[in-house]
Amino acid sequence: MRLFQHFPLHGGHPLTSRFWHAASPFWRTDKAWGLAIFLLLIVLLQLLVQVLLNLWNRNFFDALARKDPYALWFQAELFVPLAAASILLAAASVWGRMTAQRNWREVTTSHVIEKWLAHDRFSHLNHHMIKGSENPEYRIVVDIRVATDAPIDLSLAFFSSIITSVTFFVVLWTIGGSITVAPFGWPVTIPGYLVFGVIIYSSLVSVLMIVFGQHLTGVIERMNQSDAEFRAAADAFRGNENAGGKTGDGERRQTLQLKLQATLLWWRELLWQLVRTTFVSQGNVLFAPVVAWFLCAPKYLAGAMTLGELTQAAAAFVVVQGAFNWLVDNYQRLADWRSSVHRVATLLLALDELEAKERANGNHRNAAS
Amino acid sequence: MQHIVVATDGSPGANRAVDAAARLAKAVGGELVILTIGGSISGAELRKLASASGDLSETLETSANKVLEQARKRALRAGVTEVKLQTGWGDPAETILNTVCSEKAGILVVGRRGRGRLSGLLLGSVSQKLASLAPCAVMVVP
């Protein structure tokens, strides 16, 4: 079973590398690296605040269990700066991410526009209708935005997931400690049993998500492609362009209807894929904290864990489980990003083809003179 | 010349409608317009396409053409000489009615039940809608 299918339709890696060739100049500037370091720092600080809030959670519930008003008041006072830090960091993260995205989009879009406008290629592109170059305006405006937005968000989320998992593994290992069970009368001690618990539970959720949504990325990618073809077919009514090599109003109308039908069919399939994955995601939202409480309950009932530690462990369990689900949570964005990258790259390849023809004609003229 | 429109989805019921329409067209010496509504594809077929290199638009077009070609052969076997093939997209009843109007058809021939059995039971069948809304004579073939 493959999580991400390879689509021969797009040619796979050559398209991604063609896109990267056009998009990478931004990442060779000092400004880009400054923003990247700033964002990584924000992620680390957010993790620190998350750990402190997790500790606050334990202390608050312990104070509650002890019915200690002074400790409760102290915890309430402590919450204010923690909450303020968390809010400020979230705002700073939005600023950093969107600034990086805006700058990256600007550099990449300018590069593609230069290439598109040079030697009137925009008009040649329409006349030659090189396969995959339909609707260039949309590719330049929307697809470049999606292609430069998603990697920043996804990379930061991925980095955050890894360091969050590692940090909260330590929290779970420390709080949970070991547990002794006797499945067949033989006592077995499992060290850091909450860590194993979260790994088993998260793996189960991930496997279920992959099984239930095995076609999701393929369907999203095809639906996006279908949308683009539908737009191109509609665009053909402007001016004298042709849609898929068909001329004449009747045939263009037929093509438009056909493309609409294809888009609607993919939309219907996406609906069913999302219905299937919702069973898993919604089940997980309900089960994750309950599983954590059940895993901690034996130690709490035996008096080996305080109420604060129980809530802290449950919260840490949910955090790690959420971090583990990075891939499944970002299924749709990854698929959208792939489609946009492929569409921008196809346009770039079409422009490369025109450029090569221009060079060949130039050489030919030079040789003739 | 009398224009006879017959709608088909390739189902046995629709095949009977095509045979009846062809006999009618031959008898009155009219032109037979065979119409199919494209876009019927199962979820399993879509999922297969999503993980392979096939193109959905092409698949829909091919499958509609296949239905039309089969119907054309049936009509020619019945002795009709003038056959026009058409593919429509969207709501079946509405598309068939539009074709009836654009072709200025005198008779519309449809099968009583096509492939969409469940939707027919829930929403009322296409043939029922056509029988009440068509601006021409409608022949429903059982």
Low-confidence ranges of chain A (pLDDT < 70): 1-13, 126-132, 239-248, 363-369
Pair A263, A223: CB distance under 8 Å: yes
User: Rounded to an integer, what distance in angstroms lies between the CA atom of residue A141 and that of residue A136?
Assistant: 9
Question: Which pLDDT does position B54 carry in this prediction?
Answer: 67
Distance CA B50, CA A5 (A): 9
Is there a domain that residue A280 lies in?
A: yes
Instruction: Report the domain count for chain A.
Output: 1
| C-alpha to C-alpha distance for A215 and A276, rounded to whole angstroms | 11
Q: Which residues pair with A297 in a beta bridge?
A: none
Chain A hits for B56, CB-CB cut-off 8 Å, are 222, 226, 262, 265-266
Per-residue pLDDT reduced to its tens digit, B126-140: 888 888 888 999 988
Sign of CA dihedral A113, A114, A120, A125: negative
Structural domain harbouring A127: 13-358
Residue A364 counted as domain residue: no
Helix axes A331-368, A121-128, angle to 10 degrees: 100
Give the closest residue to B37 by CA, choosing from B69, B67, B79. B67
Rounded to an integer, what distance in angstroms lies between the CA atom of residue A148 and that of residue A336?
Answer: 11
Confidence of residue B45 (pLDDT cuts 50, 70, 90): confident
Q: Which two tokens stand for residue A224?
A: 């996006």
Tell me whether residue A365 is in a domain.
Answer: no
Residue A223 in domain: yes
- Using a CB–CB cutoff of 8 Å, tell me whether A338 touches chain B: no
CATH code: domain of residue A269: 1.20.1560.10
Q: How far is CA A264 from CA A222, A269, A282, in A?
A: 11, 9, 26
Residues of B in contact with A268 (CB under 8 A): 43
A101 located within any domain: yes
The contacts of residue A321 (CB under 8 Å, 6+ apart) are: A198, A201, A202, A205, A284, A288
pLDDT given at position A3: 37
Residue B4, min C-alpha distance to chain A (Å): 21
B88: CATH: 3.40.50.620
* Stated pTM of the model: 0.72
What is d(CA A165, CA A159) in angstroms, rounded to the nearest whole number?
10
Q: What is the ipTM of this complex?
A: 0.76
What is the predicted pLDDT for the residue at B115? 60
Q: How far is CA A19 from the centre of its chain?
A: 18
CA–CA distance, A331 with B30 (Å, rounded to integer): 56
Residues of chain B neighbouring A218 (CB-CB closer than 8 A): 47, 50-51
- Residues on chain B touching A222 (C-beta within 8 angstroms): 49-50, 56
Partner-chain contact B56 A266, CB within 8 Å: yes
Check if A143 contacts B (Cβ < 8 Å): no
Write the residue in A215, A258, A269 that is nearest to B38 by C-beta. Answer: A258
* Domain count across chain B: 1
Q: What pLDDT is stored for residue A128 in this prediction? A: 60
Structure confidence by residue, pLDDT tens digits, B62-83: 889 999 999 999 999 988 888 8
Task: Inspect the interface and report whether the beta carbons of B50 and A269 lie closer than 8 Å.
Answer: yes
Answer whether residue A368 is part of any domain: no
Residue bearing tokens 């422009």: A351
Q: What is the pLDDT of residue A240?
A: 54
For residues B53-58, give the mean pLDDT.
77
Which of B82, B142, B56 has the alpha carbon at shortest distance from A262?
Answer: B56
In percent, the amount of chain B with pLDDT more than 90 equals 30
CA separation for the pair B137, B92 (Å, rounded): 18
pLDDT at B11: 86
- The residue of chain B with its CA nearest to that of A219 is B50
Beta pairing, strands B3-8 & B107-111: parallel
**Of A8, A258, A268, which is closest to B57 when you measure between CB atoms?**
A258
Parent domain of B73: 3-141
CB contact A250 to B (< 8 Å): no
Select from A2, A215, A265 the Cβ nearest to the Cβ of B56. A265
Measured CA to CA, the distance from residue A290 to residue A126 in angstroms comes to: 59
Check residue A127 and give its pLDDT: 63
Strands A179-181 and A188-190: antiparallel
Q: How far is the alpha carbon of A320 from chain B, nearest alpha carbon, in Å? A: 32
Supply A185's token pair: 């009368």
